[in-house]
């Protein structure tokens, strides 16, 4: 009845060794893996299990990747949905999806629930009238609030669902309803920042494992010279370089392939045979 459903990975197959440049975050998240591997150990030691964890930071820096790695390391199912998939005009549909998501995750616990772009579902509630444009309280607003309330109910009822970890990701923490950030809901907030030069090198090395790179290529220089490039962009760079190597009939990726790939990613594909006056 209430579609779309969460995408489920029985096991994501992603490990912490696939994640680079955000070592502090990974270290902090290791505890969640320990918990998922053995939830009852936390009970025995009377340690409060982690509730929800908010991953925040700019696009493409590894929020989804690290969430998948938590499930992969613990070898548990991963239930993934985007915040926008809960946003419906029909009252009750979004909240039914939230209920359904957590119900499925609890049946298959231990498990991880991950909601990407959680700001789409959990934007600040604005009372009866929107402050910005005095729009009347309409069905869409009511639906959004009902959905958010259902999410809060699910997070508050987590004790009965021992063994489920909830992770949310956002690029816009400032938009989130403060109720969601209260302790006991998202009780941990982890910042996933863009990588520095060392982080970029580590990310390039992770992705270089998946392609055939010539030993003559010095990745350190590239890592230094690509400030502001996210993990997603660096991964794209190596994929594009692999394509360039094929096109240039090289057996492995050479420096010139990487340079061509950088040109394409920064300038865009060249127009062959088109005269620009
Ligand atoms: P968004 O906010 O757009 O959802 P995100 O932070 O969730 O972005 P990911 O989806 O995790 O970003 O990253 C996209 C891809 O980029 C990953 O699947 C991976 O290939 C690569 N990547 C991003 N960050 C890293 C990283 N820290 N280490 C290794 N690879 C990375």
Which residues 6+ apart lie within 8 Å of 49 measured at CB? 35, 39, 42, 43, 162
Q: What is the full DSSP assignment across 199-213? A: HHHHHHHHHHTTS-B
User: Rg of the Cα trace of the chain?
Assistant: 22
**Residue 1 CA to ligand 1 centre (angstroms):** 32
Q: What is the full DSSP assignment across 155-198? A: HHGGGGGTTEEEEEEES-GGGB-HHHHSTTTEEEEEE-PPP-HH
Ligand 1 pocket test target in 207, 232, 234, 265 with most atoms within 8 Å of CB:
232
On the 0-12 / 13-18 / 19+ scale of CB atoms within 10 A, 162 is: middle
Confirm if 67 and 167 have CB atoms less than 8 A apart. Answer: yes
ipTM summary value? 0.98
Query: Among 126, 172, 174, 165, which Cα is nearest to 148's?
Result: 126
**Residue 87 CA to ligand 1 centre (angstroms):** 24
pLDDT tens by residue, 197-247: 999 999 999 999 999 999 999 999 999 999 999 999 999 999 999 999 999
List the residue whose alpha carbon is closest to atom 9 of ligand 1.
62
Confirm if 254 and 217 have CB atoms less than 8 A apart. Answer: yes
Q: What is the DSSP letter of 253?
A: B
The whole-number pLDDT of residue 88 equals 72
**Residue 254 CA to ligand 1 centre (angstroms):** 25
7-9 sheet: strands from edge to edge = 7-9, 78-82, 111-116, 164-170, 52-56, 186-191
What is the average per-residue pLDDT within 73-100? 88
Atom of ligand 1 nearest to the CA of 195: 27
Residue 60 confidence (pLDDT) above 60: yes
List the residue whose alpha carbon is closest to atom 22 of ligand 1.
231
> Is the previous residue joined to 77 through a cis bond, with omega within 30 degrees of 0?
no
Does 199 contact ligand 1 (Cβ within 6 A)?
no
CB atoms near residue 250 (< 10 Å): 16
**Residue 236 CA to ligand 1 centre (angstroms):** 10
pTM of the model: 0.89
Residue 158 confidence (pLDDT) above 90: no
List the residue whose alpha carbon is closest to atom 15 of ligand 1.
232
What is the average per-residue pLDDT within 152-157? 88
Does 236 contact ligand 1 (Cβ within 6 A)?
no
Atom of ligand 1 nearest to the CA of 192: 6
């Amino acid at each position: 009845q209430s579609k779309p459903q969460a995408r489920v990975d029985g096991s994501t197959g992603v490990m912490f060794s696939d994640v680079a440049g955000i070592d502090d975050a990974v270290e902090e998240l290791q505890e969640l893996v320990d918990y998922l591997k053995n939830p009852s150990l936390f009970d025995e030691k009377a340690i409060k299990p982690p509730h929800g964890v908010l991953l925040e930071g700019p696009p493409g820096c590894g929020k989804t990747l690290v969430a998948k790695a938590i499930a992969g390391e613990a070898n548990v199912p991963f239930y993934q949905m985007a915040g926008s998939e809960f946003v419906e005009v029909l009252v009750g549909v979004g909240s039914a999806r939230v209920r359904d998501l957590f119900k499925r995750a609890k049946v298959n616990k231990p498990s991880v629930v991950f909601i990407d772009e959680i700001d789409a579902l959990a934007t600040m509630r604005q009372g009866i009238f929107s402050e910005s444009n005095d729009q009347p309280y309409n069905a869409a607003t009511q639906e959004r609030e009902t959905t958010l309330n259902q999410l809060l109910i699910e997070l508050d009822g987590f004790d009965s669902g021992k063994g489920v970890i909830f992770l949310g990701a956002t690029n816009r923490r400032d938009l989130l309803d403060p109720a969601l950030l209260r302790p006991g809901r998202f009780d941990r907030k982890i910042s996933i920042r863009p990588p520095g030069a060392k982080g970029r090198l580590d990310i390039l090395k992770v992705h270089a494992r998946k392609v055939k790179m010539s030993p003559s290529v010095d990745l350190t220089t590239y890592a230094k010279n690509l400030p502001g490039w996210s993990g997603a962009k660096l991964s794209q760079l190596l994929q594009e370089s692999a394509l360039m190597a094929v096109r240039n009939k090289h057996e492995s990726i050479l420096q010139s392939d990487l340079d061509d790939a950088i040109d394409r990613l920064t300038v865009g594909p060249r127009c062959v045979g088109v005269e620009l006056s």
